[in-house]
Chains A and B, each alone.
Chain A
Amino acid sequence: MDSTQQGEAQFLETWRNPTGFPGWFSEVNNQPLGKRFMVTSFAFFLVGGAMALLMRLQLVSSENNFLGPEVFNQLFTMHGSTMMFLFAVPFLEGLALYLTPLMIGSRDVAYPRLTAFGYWTYLFGGLVFFASFLVGAVPAAGWFAYVPLSGRPFAGLEMDFWLLGLALVEIGGLVAGVEIVATILKLRAPGMTLARMPLFIWAILAAGLMIIFAFTTLLMATLLLEMDRAVGTQFFNPESGGNILLWQHLFWFFGHPEVYIIFLPATGIVSMVVAAFARRIVGYTLIAMAIIVTAFVSFGLWVHHMYTTGLPELSMHFFAAASLMVAVASGTQFFAWIATLWGSAPAFKVPLMYVLGFLVVFLLGGLTGVMVAVVPFDWQVHDTYFIVAHLHYVLIGGAVFPMMAGLYYWLPKITGRMLDERLGQWGFWLAFIGFNVTFFPMHMMGFFGMPRRVYTYPAELGLDFYNLIATVGSFILALGFLVFVVDFFISLRRGTPAEDNPWGSDSLEWSVSSPSPSFTFYAPPLVQSRHPLWHEPDPELEDPATARAREALRGAPAEFRATLTTDILTAAPEAVYRLAGPTYVPLFAALGLTVLMLGILGGWYTVALGGTAFTVAALGVWLWPNEMTLRTLRESDIGQRAGLPLFATGTRSTAWWGAVWLLVILATAFGVLFYSYYYIRLFATVWPQGDLPLPGLALPPIAYALLVGSALPIYWATRSFHRGERSQTLASLAASLFLGVVFIVWLVYELASLEYAMQDNAYASLFYVISAALGLLVLTALPIGACAFLRMRREHEDRKGFMALQMQITALFWFFTAAMGAIVFFVLYLSPHVV
């Protein structure tokens, strides 16, 4: 074996996924984890579907008692929650995690360990959620969990299962969102400018960004509700100054974008399938525009779920206008797809059949969406089956049909086997007919007054026939999906081996073998067009620096996993980026978090504390740089050969971007708290409520000034570091740490000396929780600063790049903490004196 063969063998060994039972738990590669997300979510989909069938059996005739009201409420809650939280988003995230590196020409996602952490929290969250069946405490307050129904007086342990299980799922979803965004922005192949990204990538980039804002809002809302239930805060209790509509605002600020978080990736699938079958795409820029507009506008539509809550008419009409205008963006995509297919003579294979089914079904769902955006119409049908029909036309038509199209389209790449065309056609027609037979009659049921979320209906309504038809349809629909499952398993065993590019598509994933290898690309591909497989790249036109970098990474490095990072806009190579290999740490971190949630669930607070400690320890191991890795990196010549740095800093570094996204999440979380504060404030006749004293202005300004001022030494530290003044850097870091500690000591004293408890009223709850949130932020900034301090003391010359990055991230986090300190001081201490 010569040295080239040896190098290749080592490269393959480095990228080999761990095998066997223990290896399954240490996997961090995007491909197996993407598959796990999809398989797990599809299993939840089947369970959620089975619940739907049971509900349809209950509703098959009037005044039926097959399930009874209690079980029906549980099933419609679990069905909705399962489909929205455990199936739709995780499935699309799994597909995105699998496909993104393949489509953009990267070897893995930006943060492989985070992918694993996301999967484990999602899985454990789902299991906690379904464990409610085992203890006979099944959530029954709907997938929207409106208070007061979900509050302590009306819901017991079952609601804690819902809140804590979903909190874990939300964390999983959130980290997957960050992963997708960072990967798309930083790991695109050389030459893949924004204008050359596949439309699926545009769609999941938008969805990933939306997840970051929407899921954080939901996570905060669920935490506030759980606090109301577990420790007696009063955010949503009107008797103590809270507001039940606050929950609806927060929930729908997540809930409406959620629909588009599901819908946008689905449209990305449609764009890819349509382009592959029509051999072109019409209106690329218009589709990208529609994706961006939809992503933005979806955050401005939440109030249209609240038309019947008594909001001022004027406010509702602004949202009605915005709701109508989102149809402009959706319509643009729709016409672009039709124009693409028009006159293209495509082959009507199964993926395209599902896309055509989507076009028909989603058109109807979109039209009824325009109808319910009109306030008076919504008032008439809001609590009827018309809405059930509308939302299923949007979600099954807008998401599940494209997902099925995506599965038939990409499974050959994922499994290496073609699915059976004849079974696929059977499955499609059964699903399409079954779907319409199930849900179309529901429009009429709604018009005739059949209320939704109710376990039965009186015979006098005359709706037995419609319900019988819908129930029959639901079983035909289920049969359609069952045919797919059978087709899938048959294809795994006996399917025709798939060619590399069975559909003659244009995007990079079809350039690698089927199934794709774990390293995805042996050498980073070169992109010179929007359709890299239809237009062969011309090496003559390649920039020499890019050619050098690509050549250096051909089957290399062999010692560790690595890929190229590129510029966000131009995709010019910026650095060689080391990717993490297999490890159990993400599993342990997720386990710790699950133990924490279970501790809260059972009221075993010592267990919860243990879970917290375990999670913190796992995160410590995760984040603390491994000496052996650092040595391997120092000894590697890959950077030299590629002409690129191995330790990138600032905007060139994926770690820096990771820190930025973390801060965006934290800023959103604080934004939710501030919104809650002012929402409750504006409805209160007296502030602070319950004649509580105004916050004092003697010591707090000094304490907050110290916190805000602690950013200054950090600034000095970064300047000293760049000038190579080690002792000044250490002294400045120490000063910031000291000021942070002083603030924490004061905050503990401040909260301990308050004359009221957080349970007294909503104002008190807000004061305590916002203060504590800031305290937690400072407590997170302190170890980050302490790590920088300790590592700086042991600084070696050859670690300069690494330390520079650590200083940048420390400064970023600390500046953010100081800024939050200033805002919290304004909100809690100054604003009550002013307004």
Chain B
Amino acid sequence: MIATSAPDSLVRQSVLWFGLLGGAVAWVAHLMLAFVIGEFGCLAGWGEITFLGITAIAWAILVLSVVTLVVAVAATVAARGALGRLRKVGADRESAEFLMARLGWINSAVFSLIIAVQTVPIFYYLGSC
């Protein structure tokens, strides 16, 4: 027997994939860009440029953190919503869709947490490198 799929109208494949990978991709973007900004921004003297007492580097990383966190949380919400809809229609719990939705919301929630934790250090370096 092949596991039953949920009706397309209820859970779109794109939503499932976004839910599954959105958080992970957001985390990769956050870490890599924060690394590049931190490493080379300091080298290039962005630490000297300030706005409201906060360096350009810190601003850039704060904006980056907000954007990536929003993406990761959106993926979590999307996956959670998909899971709810699948449960409602009684989809097979061992179907690929169910697994993607369930893995997606847990994964993206964990990656949201990781992004949030990775943002903490910048609050100790608001005025310098």
Known contacts A195-B95, A312-B129, A569-B96; A296/B24 CB under 8 A: yes
B5 cross-chain contacts in A, Cβ below 8 A:
570
A313 cross-chain contacts in B, Cβ below 8 A:
125, 129
Known contacts A289-B106, A317-B121, A322-B118; A328/B113 CB under 8 A: yes
For the complex, is A318 an interface residue (Cβ under 8 Å from B)? yes
For the complex, is A541 an interface residue (Cβ under 8 Å from B)? yes
For the complex, is B67 an interface residue (Cβ under 8 Å from A)? no
How many residues in B have their beta carbons less than 8 Å from beta carbons of A?
40
For the complex, is A293 an interface residue (Cβ under 8 Å from B)? yes
Nearest chain A residue, comparing its CB with the CB of B105 = A289
Chain B nearest CB: distance from A199 CB in Å?
13
Give which listed residue, A195, A293, A322, contacts B107 with CB less than 8 A.
Answer: A293
For the complex, is A445 an interface residue (Cβ under 8 Å from B)? no
Nearest chain B residue, comparing its CB with the CB of A538 = B1
Bound form: Cα–Cα A541–B100 in Å:
24
For the complex, is B2 an interface residue (Cβ under 8 Å from A)? yes
For the complex, is A320 an interface residue (Cβ under 8 Å from B)? yes
B42 cross-chain contacts in A, Cβ below 8 A:
312, 314
A683 cross-chain contacts in B, Cβ below 8 A:
43
Nearest chain B residue, comparing its CB with the CB of A286 = B106
Interface residues of A in 317-356 (CB under 8 A from B): 317-322, 324-325, 328-329
Q: Are A285 and B99 in contact (CB under 8 A)?
A: yes
Chain A nearest CB: distance from B69 CB in Å?
13
Give which listed residue, A324, A329, A570, contacts B3 with CB less than 8 A.
Answer: A570
Q: Are B96 and A293 in contact (CB under 8 A)?
A: no
Nearest chain A residue, comparing its CB with the CB of B102 = A285
CB-defined interface of A269-310 with B at 8 Å, one 1/0 digit per residue? 000000000000000011011001100110110010000000
Q: Are A315 and B94 in contact (CB under 8 A)?
A: no
How many A-B pairs with Cβ below 8 Å?
A: 123
Known contacts A570-B2, A570-B96, A571-B2; A289/B110 CB under 8 A: yes
Nearest chain B residue, comparing its CB with the CB of A527 = B1
CB-defined interface of A558-583 with B at 8 Å, one 1/0 digit per residue? 00000000000111100000000000
Q: Are B35 and A315 in contact (CB under 8 A)?
A: yes
Chain A nearest CB: distance from B12 CB in Å?
14
Chain A nearest CB: distance from B92 CB in Å?
8
Give which listed residue, B1, B40, B117, B121, contacts A191 with CB less than 8 A.
Answer: B1
| Dominant secondary structure of chain A at its interface with chain B | helix
Q: Are B34 and A289 in contact (CB under 8 A)?
A: no
Chain A nearest CB: distance from B18 CB in Å?
15
Chain B nearest CB: distance from A378 CB in Å?
15
Known contacts A312-B42, A321-B118; A195/B57 CB under 8 A: no
Known contacts A297-B114, A542-B1, A571-B2; A314/B125 CB under 8 A: yes
Known contacts A193-B94, A320-B121; A314/B38 CB under 8 A: yes
Known contacts A312-B42, A314-B125, A324-B117; A193/B3 CB under 8 A: yes
A636 cross-chain contacts in B, Cβ below 8 A:
none
Q: Are B114 and A194 in contact (CB under 8 A)?
A: no
Chain B nearest CB: distance from A392 CB in Å?
28
Chain B nearest CB: distance from A248 CB in Å?
13
Interface residues of B in 26-82 (CB under 8 A from A): 27-28, 31-32, 34-35, 38-40, 42-43, 57
For the complex, is A366 an interface residue (Cβ under 8 Å from B)? no
For the complex, is B87 an interface residue (Cβ under 8 Å from A)? no
A745 cross-chain contacts in B, Cβ below 8 A:
none
For the complex, is A240 an interface residue (Cβ under 8 Å from B)? no
| Dominant secondary structure of chain B at its interface with chain A | helix
A194 cross-chain contacts in B, Cβ below 8 A:
96, 99-100
For the complex, is A415 an interface residue (Cβ under 8 Å from B)? no
For the complex, is B103 an interface residue (Cβ under 8 Å from A)? yes
A317 cross-chain contacts in B, Cβ below 8 A:
121, 124-125
Chain A nearest CB: distance from B38 CB in Å?
4
Give which listed residue, B31, B43, B103, B124, contacts A300 with CB less than 8 A.
Answer: B31
Chain A nearest CB: distance from B72 CB in Å?
12
Interface residues of B in 111-129 (CB under 8 A from A): 111, 113-114, 117-118, 120-122, 124-125, 129
Q: Are A322 and B38 in contact (CB under 8 A)?
A: no
Nearest chain A residue, comparing its CB with the CB of B121 = A317
Nearest chain B residue, comparing its CB with the CB of A197 = B99
B95 cross-chain contacts in A, Cβ below 8 A:
193, 195, 570
Q: Are B107 and A321 in contact (CB under 8 A)?
A: no
A40 cross-chain contacts in B, Cβ below 8 A:
none
Chain A nearest CB: distance from B114 CB in Å?
4
Chain B nearest CB: distance from A290 CB in Å?
9
Chain A nearest CB: distance from B75 CB in Å?
13
Q: Are B3 and A321 in contact (CB under 8 A)?
A: no
Q: Are A543 and B118 in contact (CB under 8 A)?
A: no
Chain B nearest CB: distance from A809 CB in Å?
25
For the complex, is A529 an interface residue (Cβ under 8 Å from B)? yes
For the complex, is A100 an interface residue (Cβ under 8 Å from B)? no
Bound form: Cα–Cα A314–B94 in Å:
44
A526 cross-chain contacts in B, Cβ below 8 A:
1
Known contacts A292-B107, A528-B1; A193/B122 CB under 8 A: no
Bound form: Cα–Cα A300–B95 in Å:
31
Q: Are A293 and B111 in contact (CB under 8 A)?
A: yes
B110 cross-chain contacts in A, Cβ below 8 A:
289, 293, 328-329
B107 cross-chain contacts in A, Cβ below 8 A:
289, 292-293
Q: Are B96 and A190 in contact (CB under 8 A)?
A: no
Chain B nearest CB: distance from A756 CB in Å?
26
Q: Are B121 and A296 in contact (CB under 8 A)?
A: no
A322 cross-chain contacts in B, Cβ below 8 A:
31, 114, 118
A810 cross-chain contacts in B, Cβ below 8 A:
none
Q: Are B125 and A193 in contact (CB under 8 A)?
A: no
Bound form: Cα–Cα A286–B106 in Å:
8
Q: Are B57 and A314 in contact (CB under 8 A)?
A: yes
CB-defined interface of A611-633 with B at 8 Å, one 1/0 digit per residue? 00000000000000000000000
Q: Are B129 and A300 in contact (CB under 8 A)?
A: no
For the complex, is A311 an interface residue (Cβ under 8 Å from B)? yes
Chain B nearest CB: distance from A88 CB in Å?
26
CB-defined interface of A221-240 with B at 8 Å, one 1/0 digit per residue? 00000000000000000000
For the complex, is A546 an interface residue (Cβ under 8 Å from B)? yes
A314 cross-chain contacts in B, Cβ below 8 A:
38, 42, 57, 121-122, 125, 129
Chain A nearest CB: distance from B83 CB in Å?
11
Q: Are B99 and A325 in contact (CB under 8 A)?
A: no
For the complex, is A682 an interface residue (Cβ under 8 Å from B)? yes
Chain B nearest CB: distance from A745 CB in Å?
38
Bound form: Cα–Cα A606–B31 in Å:
46
Q: Are B3 and A191 in contact (CB under 8 A)?
A: yes
CB-defined interface of A484-508 with B at 8 Å, one 1/0 digit per residue? 0000000000000000000000000
Known contacts A296-B24, A325-B117, A329-B110; A318/B38 CB under 8 A: yes
Chain B nearest CB: distance from A313 CB in Å?
7
Known contacts A297-B114, A300-B27, A571-B2; A321/B121 CB under 8 A: yes
Bound form: Cα–Cα A665–B56 in Å:
36
Chain B nearest CB: distance from A186 CB in Å?
14
Give which listed residue, B28, B35, B96, B100, contacts A318 with CB less than 8 A.
Answer: B35
7 additional A-B pairs beyond A193-B99, A315-B39, beta carbons within 8 Å, are A285-B102, A296-B27, A314-B38, A314-B121, A322-B31, A328-B114, A538-B1
29 A-B interface contacts by CB (under 8 A)? A190-B2, A193-B2, A193-B94, A195-B99, A288-B99, A288-B103, A293-B24, A296-B28, A296-B111, A299-B28, A300-B32, A312-B129, A314-B38, A314-B57, A314-B121, A314-B122, A314-B129, A317-B121, A318-B121, A328-B113, A328-B114, A526-B1, A538-B1, A542-B1, A546-B2, A569-B96, A570-B2, A570-B3, A570-B96
A interface vs B, CB < 8 Å?
190-191, 193-196, 285-286, 288-289, 292-293, 296-297, 299-300, 303, 311-315, 317-322, 324-325, 328-329, 526, 528-530, 537-538, 541-543, 546, 569-572, 682-683
Closest 7 CB pairs of A and B: A317-B121, A195-B99, A569-B96, A315-B38, A314-B38, A541-B1, A321-B118
